[in-house]
Every structure is written in structure tokens, then in C-alpha cells.
Structure 1
Amino acid sequence: MSMSGRIGRIFDKFMGGRGEHSITVPVMDGALKPNNYLERIASVSMVEAADNLTIGGGQVLLTSGNRLVELHDSGSTSIRSTFDAEITFLSASPQGALALGLDRLGIAIVGGRHHGKRLAANPSGQQLNCPTAAVFLDEDTLVVCNGSSAHSALEWSRDLLNLGRSGSVVRLDLGSGTASLIKGGLGFPSGVAVAGAGKLVVAEAWKHRLLTLDIAGGDCIAVVADLPAYPGRIQPASQTGYWLTMFAVRSQLQEFVLREDRYRREMMKTIAPEYWVAPALSSGRSFKEPLQAGSVIRLGIHKPWAPSRSYGLLLRLDDSFQPVWSAHSRADGQRHGITSCVETGDRLLVASKGRGEVLALHHLSPTEPDDLSVLMGSAA
């Protein structure tokens, strides 16, 4: 950063919060206007810590902790296999090979020409201790997001509170097992998809933005900035555009805490992680949690517009990555912590990890329908 840039940041901080030091959060409006769609759509199955939906070999797959699970048309599930660490991402190649991220351990390949291969947490000196998302470029090449070199994927809130900027995007040659860095110094990259020839789109959670990234050179451009929530997995939609899951929402209190270094250090040192002033995949289960007083509950009613540590949010983006539609589960809802989605037939399956539930959106139009019954199909 140039000297003028550093001086500008110091001046912004001195002036009480401008630029990067502002504690304002963008208003959810327009395509992100709050609604109750996620609370009203159909439930497919209850699966503890449901996450990482994908299609592999024509079968809907998801993860639950360290288990790889098959989701059947009836909504029933069966365990395909278990692993020795929590599965943090699941990606399928066009020919049905699966890549699984294993927290702290690296990458496992199931099926395809590289079946049984394991890549340790530091192949070729590149960190894969915190794998968060991946996409196959071809049957021999995998691009992986590593959220943080300092913390595991399960410690994402600790990385946020430590202002983590040690994430990276890494290219893996599955044949040789070698890894090369595409881009480092990222604030918890948590989603990746192919975005045209030689290009990727990457969700950078702690900077609340989407980046397009050149695979060969690592050059990046912010295509969406200052989102009101933390972006996670992103994948192309079948018709046009992309689906983006948002695993937690931002708040002014959280933005304030991120700028108070002494408070954050003391909080992390003396308070259990589940009670930190930090975003979460679910909330409201203990009176010890922050934000359980004031305007949260009034006259015995949990207000939908109340401040919340957790939230449910799914975005539909156009081909330019601009939001055109959204589905919400607000503060008074339960389907929070939306971490992944996948299209199958005429449905979009959505994983609420905070709730432990797989949902089904029956209408896949890139814009919001006028009639909610059209959106929800048989769930109306």
C-alpha cells in the first residue's frame, strides 16, 4: 500500500470511522429486501449439520459432520462413507469423481481416475489445513479455497475476530499431487466457481465481496462489494446467473467489535466461543448468548427485524454477479446458516446447516415471481 493510502486509513480511523473503519452495514433493500420465503418452502429431510450439497453420479449427496450422505427422492438418507475429520467441502467432477475437504487434514478423492488419493494439509508448501470450497477444472485439476492458514474451518468465527487475511486459492494437480498458489492474502475465501475461460469467481467472506480471479496470473477484480452478509458457496445456475449462499449476516454491533482490539482479545480469552459477539449459524438457544435482550423479544414475540447473530439468506445473481432475487429466514425464523445449494430437476435443494435441514425451492426463475405459490410449488 502506498504512503498516501496508509495516511488515509489512519485519518479515517482518527475521524471516528470512515472508509474501512466505518461501522455501517448496507441496508437490505431492492433484490435483497427481507422476506419469509425460506421459512415457507418445503422441507425435504432433517439431517444434522446438513452441508455441502452436490450431485455425484446422478445421486444427490451431502455431508453431515464426518459422514458422506446420500439423499434419496423420498427424503430418506443413507450413509455412504465416513471419514476421520469433519468434511468441509464436497465437489463433484463432470465424470462423477468427488473431492472432499477434511478439516485440518487436507483433501480426499473418491471415485474417478484418482480414487483413494489423499493430499496432505501442506502439499508443495501450500496450506490446505482449512479447505472451505473447491471446483474441478477437469478430471485432473482441482481449485481449492483454503480459508485460513492460522485456523481450521470449524474455527471460522475465531479467524474473523482475529481479522484473518491468510486465506488462499490453490490449484492442485491430482496426478502429481503438486499445488500452486493462484492468490493469497484473502479474508477467508469460502466459495468458488468457474466464471468463463480462465476465470474463477471467489467469495471472500470477511471482506463481504465477490472477486473474479484469473487462474493463470492471479489478477483479481471485485465484482460485488460491501454485501450485507458473509458470502459462502457459489455455483452456476442452470438457466442463467449464479446461486450464492450467505452463511451469516453482518450487524453494526459486530462491525464495532471488529474494530475494538482490546475488547476482542479479552472476550476471546475469557468467554466461551459460543457466547462471543460473533456471527453464528444458529442462535437463540441460550439466554447467555449476546443480543438476547433489548429489542429482540418484546411482549413475548421475537421480532423478525430484531438484531440477530444468525440469519438465513440465499441470493440469485445474474451473469454479472449482481443480485436479482433473494430468499430469507429472518431473526424470528429457524432456517438459518444457509451453507450450500444444488439444482436437481426443477428443484433447488438448499442446506440450512444451522437448522440441520434440507429444503426444496420449486421455482428456479432468475427473478422474483409475483405469485408466491408459483415459487413454492406444492409447498404453498
Structure 2
Amino acid sequence: MTLEGMLGPNGRLDEARGMKVDAPDALCVAADGRLLVSDGQRVMALAAWGDEPEHFASFDAPVTALCQGFGGFVAVGLADGAVWVLDGYGLPVEGWPLPAGQVASVVDCAFTPAGELLLVDCGYRSSENLLALAAWDEQARGRLLSLSRSGELRVVTSGLHCPMGVCLDPDGAPLVSLLEKAMIIDASGKVRQAGYPGYLGRLRRTATGYALACWSRRDPLIEFLKTEQAFVEKMKANVEPRHWIGPRIKPEFSHDFPIELGATRLFGEVKPWAPSFSYGLVIEMDESLMPVGSMQSRANGHRHGICDVAVWNGHLVAASKGSGEILYLGSRA
């Protein structure tokens, strides 16, 4: 898929209302209707757009996953692989033990109708540059796991290439988004839809289908270099991962970044159509996971690195790591 037709370029993310958050990552809606937002090692609660966020819970590691379900419980995944389950007041619930160390990093979670907690382990530690590594790493180390309240951890699917999100379809079956492979699969590994023009983040149900957060759009230079194995091996051997040619979260420019960034300015101005390793993209999809619309922040925008979306009071909300904001996107959900 390319950014045309239903996915034609637009500036809807840059036009949306925003609220600053120091380190946004995960979103979910609590049983009482408040929007929960991860902010580094904290989870904040927002009763209404424009209100001052209230403290909900704090942890010893950055919060990398949130979900609500199973009696109003809130599950919290941490960068070190630990998982907590909280009640509606932000207090720990007895049981559900998963200490740090059993998984690399929990990047998303979802409660099943049966009361189990699905966990997405992307396979990369929080200290690793996930976006840089996943673009060039052929090793499929990610897993979809299931945690019961008794503490039993079961592998649902293994051998996944950088899974980033999990969502239940209308029948309660899990769908998993794969960041670099640009596809959505089911628990058996069967491809449900593929060819998306972005590096996929989390997938969420909406009233009309699904919304898909994308870390960035797919870059033609990166796709071309996948055919140039000798160059890639030399880059990986001699250059730090943060300087690899790969997707990025922020629209930063520096003399020591890959040479493609030297072409992004014309008469001193970044053009919206310029090549860019970072981008803001939310894809709206129907029940069959086919795109029906999009919200974008182009090369000259700053709301890049969209990592999560949520439907809150009938409105779509997104988290931008690139700009450090949550975005209020309107009622198209």
C-alpha cells in the first residue's frame, strides 16, 4: 500500500487539539470513563479533555502497556517485563503475579472474555533501539503470551517478528500487529491483512472497525536497501544503531544522520512531501482491516511517532511520542 487513495496525504494530526505529556506511550479507557495515559513511570487519569490530569499509579520502570477489562481491572505492562493488575483506584489486585525478567518487554496487553491477560512481548529489551534493530533484524523473537490470575504464563504464539499490538476481534479472537512486516495476524500466525504503508504500532477496535497507530511511514530508501545486503552488513558492523538508516520517532535533523536527510530542505524549508524517516500516521480501517481513511503529520509536521490510539467517549485519541502529546482527533471513530 502507498499513501494514496484512501490514504492520501493530509495534515489532520497537526490540525488536531493537543495536550502536552512528558513521555506518552500507552492509552486506555478505565471502567469509570477516564482516559488513562502513561507518562514515563506514571499513569495519569484524565476525566475530560482540557482537565488537569490526575495521578493514578506509579512504578519503578517506564509504563509500556495499558488495557482495561475483566471487572474493571487495569493491566499495566512495564519496560522491564513486569506486569501489574490494578483496580479502578490504581491499587494492586491480589494475584496476577508476573515479576520482571520472564519476558523482554511488555509492549501491549488485552483482557480476554475468559479473564486471561494477553501480553505482547516484542522480543527487545527497553535498552535496545527497537526501531533501528527491527528494520534490519531477521530474527523473530517476539511472542504472544497469556497470563492467568493464578500466575500461569502460557505461550500462545512464538516466533513473531517484532509484534507491537494486540486487539480482540468481534468474536474475541486476538489480532496482532507486526511492526516491520507491516501485517496483522491472528493467534495461529495466519495473515489477516498485510502491505500497510507504515511501521505498525498498536491496533484498537472502534465503532466502525479498527484504528492502527503507526510509528512512521515506510521509507523507500529502507525498502531499497533490503536488496543491498553487503551495504547493510557494513552499516551494522561500523555504525551505531542510532545512526542506522531506519525509521525514527522525531523529525530531527543533524549533520551526522543518514545522507537522505540532506534532501529534506528546499530554500531553507522542509516541504511536506520531502523524504523523512519520521512521520505521523493513524490508519482507519473497516471490519476486514482494509483502510478507509487516515490522519497524518507529514515531513514538515512534528506530531510523529504515533504509538497508540484509543476511543474515548466516541472520539479518537492518539499518543505522539515525537511531539510529546496526546491528540484529540474527533468523532470519526
1:162 alignment counterpart: 137
**Secondary structure in structure 2 of the residue aligned to 1:320:** coil
Distance 1:282 1:115, change over 3 A: farther
CA distance in 1, matches of 2:136, 2:190: 25
Aligned partners of 1:85 and 1:105 also within 8 Å: no
Q: Deviations over 1:218-270 (max 9, x none)?
A: x2321211111111111111x22111111122112112334444544443454
Q: In 2, are the aligned partners of 1:50 and 1:357 still within 8 Å (CA)? A: yes
Q: Structure 1 stretch 52-61 or stretch 304-313: which is displaced more?
A: 52-61
Any stretches of 5+ residues in structure 2 without a counterpart? none
What is aligned with 2:332?
364
Structure 1 residues 196, 153: closer, same or farther in 2, change over 3 A? farther
Q: Secondary structure at the match of 1:281?
A: coil
2:305 pairs with 1:305: no
Q: CA deviation at 1:177?
A: 0.7
Q: 1:87 to 1:264 in 2, by over 3 A?
A: farther
From 182, 195, 217, give the equivalent of 1:226: 195
- Distance in structure 1 (CA, Å) of the matches to 2:155 and 2:202: 20
Counterpart in the other structure of 2:316? 348
Provide the secondary structure at the position in 1 that maps to 2:135. Answer: helix
Which region of structure 1 is more displaced relative to structure 2, 108-117 or 224-233? 108-117
Mapping of residues 262-277 of structure 1, within 5 Å: 262-277=230-245
Mapped contact 1:103–1:131 kept (Cα < 8 A): yes
For residues 153-190 of structure 1, the C-alpha deviation after alignment (integer angstroms, 9 at most, x for no partner) is 853122332233111111111x2211111111111111
Specify whether residues 307 and 64 from structure 1 end up closer, same or farther in structure 2 by C-alpha distance, changes over 3 A only: same
- Mapped pair 1:69 → 2:37: no
Output the TM-score relative to the length of structure 2.
0.90
Q: How does 1:175-324 map to 2 (within 5 A)?
A: 175-197=149-171, 199-213=173-187, 219-237=188-206, 239-290=207-258, 291-294=260-263, 296-324=264-292
Q: 8 Å contact 1:110–1:116 — kept in the other structure?
A: no
CA contact (8 A) 1:246 1:338 kept: yes
Q: Which secondary structure does the structure 2 equivalent of 1:109 belong to?
A: strand
1:297–1:166 CA distance, 2 compared to 1 (3 A):
same
Tell whether the 8 Å contact from 2:253 to 2:261 is kept in structure 1 after alignment.
Answer: no
Conservation of the 8 A alpha-carbon contact between 1:342 and 1:349: yes
Counterparts of 1:270 and 1:321, CA distance in 2: 40
SS across alignment from 2:129: helix
Relative to its length, the structure with more helix (as a share) is 1
| Conservation of the 8 A alpha-carbon contact between 2:134 and 2:180 | no
1:102–1:269 Cα change, 3 Å: farther
- The alignment status of 1:89 with 2:65, answered yes or no, reads yes
SS of 2:261's partner is coil
TM-score normalised by L of structure 1 = 0.79
Residue pair 2:251, 2:299 contacting (<8 A) in 1 also: no
The answer to whether structure 1 residue 110 and structure 2 residue 86 are counterparts is yes
Q: Give the whole-Å Cα distance in 2 for the aligned partners of 1:263 and 1:82.
A: 44
Q: Distance in 1 between matches of 2:167 and 2:314?
A: 21
Q: List gaps (5 residues or longer) in structure 1.
A: 1-25, 214-218, 366-380
RMSD: 2.2
> What is the identity, as a one-letter code, of the residue corresponding to 1:208?
A
Aligned residue number for residue 8 of structure 2: 33
Which 10-residue stretch deviates more, 342-351 or 255-264? 255-264
8 Å Cα contact 2:112-2:172 kept in structure 1 = no
Report if aligned partners of 1:349, 1:361 keep a CA contact under 8 Å in 2: yes
The separation in 1 between residues aligned to 2:324 and 2:128, in whole angstroms, is 16
Tell me how far apart the structure 1 counterparts of residues 93 and 184 of structure 2 sit (CA, whole Å): 31
Choose 1 or 2 for highest CA Rg: 1
Distance 1:208 1:142, change over 3 A: same
Q: Identity of paired residues, percent?
A: 29
How many residues align structurally? Answer: 326
1:6-45 residue pairs with structure 2 within 5 A? Answer: 26-43=1-18, 45=19
In the superposition, relative to structure 1, how do residues 271 and 48 fare at CA in structure 2: closer, same or farther (>3 Å)? farther
Q: Distance in 2 between matches of 1:151 and 1:62?
A: 22
